[in-house]
Structure 1
């Protein structure tokens, strides 16, 4: 669904992109805009009509958004004869309200498709979102961290898409701890020569492959080849050696290694740093970008290991997230600091 073709105001397009990504803090259009019949018709078609959109948010999220829309419209009414909420919106609220509610904890574990629109102009037609089936409100517990897209991945996605696309286009990419596959799928869409998405858990790799297939089936990558998926344990030396050997046999020299929110557990910091050092030794020109949300001291411990034990220089990169209508996709909070660093041989 391409809402840009509906000719609505940019704030409505932004609202739609945020809604399809199912973020919590939405940029709601003003009631003076929502009250117009054409906008209400557009809202129903693009936001709530499942016959028009196969990947709508789950009912609980729709209800929350629709109630706010109706409230804003009602607050803006000045002439009861002229100003009204459309029957379609009222009827859909009634339909959603009749759906039995689920336990919130159980619902948080369920997988739903999120649509991540890239940060492109609101009036540009034909923009395809990255589709990721995930548990968006999942709390981090044990082996499930790879089943949702975390803020550090969106932060690095913004950086690659808006600030440094030349690092991806035509390059061979390796992602470590790929999780849902958001970044790998993004790199494929940015016309990388090849993308290998790796994760250490079989369950996560199955979900990752399903997301690659979902995007290929829905033509979100155009004529680009989807990422390959490989299970890779950072402590498995034979598997790491095989990764290097396979690259050599296929005449693949990795140009970029990426990882997002992969430094959260103390036990994996040294194996990760050692793996990155091995990759750098075998592919001296490779760029390495690591993105991390700073929730504890594990990231500083990781960078210290890189510098002190493996002689890797750490360089921090500045990411500029604009305000207002200039912020047009890959929405994420930076209330908790997120850092992106590159690792170079000292």
Structure 2
């Protein structure tokens, strides 16, 4: 899928999309028809920009573009708290097409109803793409536990597109988010009772791990507040040292952290160093994944991917 079409799927703000080169108008119209049910206003704004570009270049314009724009003239922007279905490209391989995950979320809500999990954060997309595309990460035959799954992007991506992952356990401490996951699973044709997937509530520091043979822990954007870091590190610490009722110790953890506050990140790395001092793990920051499929808004802070390997 070309870059422009991928940006449309991921609802890149229209002002940020750079249109250039040859344009497959029929293909773009097909994508917009699918998005229209969720955000007609976005489709209208994109079509206006596309038609302006084509007219400025004296390109021949498909009459169906004008007809579609006419149909959408009355479309209004979504309310800030409205939900829509956003598509995320998690695998892009030449000749094989893009592999997408669909998520119902409230993309304009930073925090609501006591949680930040109503929208998909950039670090979740980054970690999903890293786990599926990097040759530095081997999850073959692994049972993977996701902490703070939120809208479910990472767990669904692994469950659907990682051919050799043994099982994925999606967990979150918010029961409301857990209750919302079946809808997103249905959007992606993932059976709720899939033997490759398990969804459950997990409150850090109180609930035990959902399986006795977890091999790998993954999490994204769970380091946003220093007040929760002790509980987070305790889960990882115990999973690598003394899993209650566990037959297997976790060997690796991948934590994607957005650097929004330097003090918070410093607190996080201080806890990581304590684990190293205790000879529990060695930690490192993985090299960034180079892939044009990743798009972030202007001003998005640095995203660091931490790898903890049990000693």
- State TM-score, norm by structure 2: 0.85
Shift of 1:330: 4.6
Match of 1:280 among 234, 240, 246: 240
> Which runs of 4 or more aligned residues in structure 1 lie more than 4 Å from their structure 2 counterparts after TM superposition?
54-57
Conserved 8 A contact 2:171-2:199: yes
Aligned equivalents of 2:135, 2:144: Cα separation in 1: 14
Report Cα offsets for 1:211-246 as digits up to 9, x if no partner.
1232126x9x9xx7552111111131xx22xx3xx5
Q: Which residue of 2 aligns with 1:135?
A: 106
For residues 96 and 148 of structure 2, the distance between their equivalents in structure 1, rounded to whole angstroms, comes to 33
Tell me how far apart the structure 2 counterparts of residues 210 and 108 of structure 1 sit (CA, whole Å): 21
More helix by share: 1
Matches within 5 A, 1:121-160: 121=93, 123-125=95-97, 127-141=98-112, 143-160=114-131
Equivalent residue number for residue 166 of structure 2 = 193
Report if aligned partners of 1:136, 1:149 keep a CA contact under 8 Å in 2.
yes
Q: Provide the C-alpha distance between the structure 2 equivalents of 1:166 and 1:156, rounded to a whole number of angstroms.
A: 11
1:87 alignment counterpart: 63
Distance 1:57 1:173, change over 3 A: same
Match of 2:287?
318
Q: Which has the larger radius of gyration?
A: 1
Are 1:267 and 2:267 matched, yes or no? Answer: no
Distance across 1 between alignment mates of 2:250 and 2:148:
21
- Residue pair 1:147, 1:180 contacting (<8 A) in 2 also: yes
Q: Which has the higher contact order (CA 8 A, sep 6+)?
A: 1
The CA distance in 1 between the partners of 2:112 and 2:225, in whole Å, is 12
1:186-225 equivalences under 5 Å are 186-189=157-160, 190-191=162-163, 192-216=165-189, 225=195
Structure 1 unaligned spans of 5+ = 5-12, 78-82
Give the secondary-structure state (helix, strand or coil) at the position aligned to 1:147: coil
Aligned to 1:40: 25
Aligned residues: 296
TM-score (norm 1): 0.77
Write the distance in 1 (CA, Å) between the matches of 2:145 and 2:26.
44
In the aligned structure 1, how far is the partner of 2:250 from the partner of 2:89?
31
Q: Which residue pairs with 1:289 in the alignment?
A: 254
Superposed displacement of residue 42, structure 1: 3.0
Measure how far apart 1:116 and its partner are: 1.4
Partner in structure 1 of residue 218 of structure 2 = 258
In the other structure, the counterpart of 1:176 is 147
Q: Structure 1 residues 148 and 164 mapped into 2: Cα distance closer, same or farther (>3 Å)?
A: farther
- Unaligned ranges ≥5, structure 2: none
1:17 is the counterpart of 2:10: no
What is the aligned counterpart of 2:268 among 278, 281, 302?
302
Instruction: Quote the Cα distance in structure 2 between the aligned partners of 1:255 and 1:94.
Output: 54
What is the Cα deviation at residue 56 of structure 1? 5.7
Give the match's secondary structure for 1:180. coil
Change (3 A) 1:133 1:55: farther
C-alpha separation between the residues in 1 aligned to 2:133 and 2:274? 33
Classify 1:267/1:88 alpha carbon distance in 2 versus 1 (closer, same or farther; 3 Å).
same
Higher strand share: 2
Of the structure 1 ranges 188-197 and 308-317, higher mean CA displacement relative to structure 2 is found in 308-317
Describe the SS at the equivalent of 1:344. Answer: strand
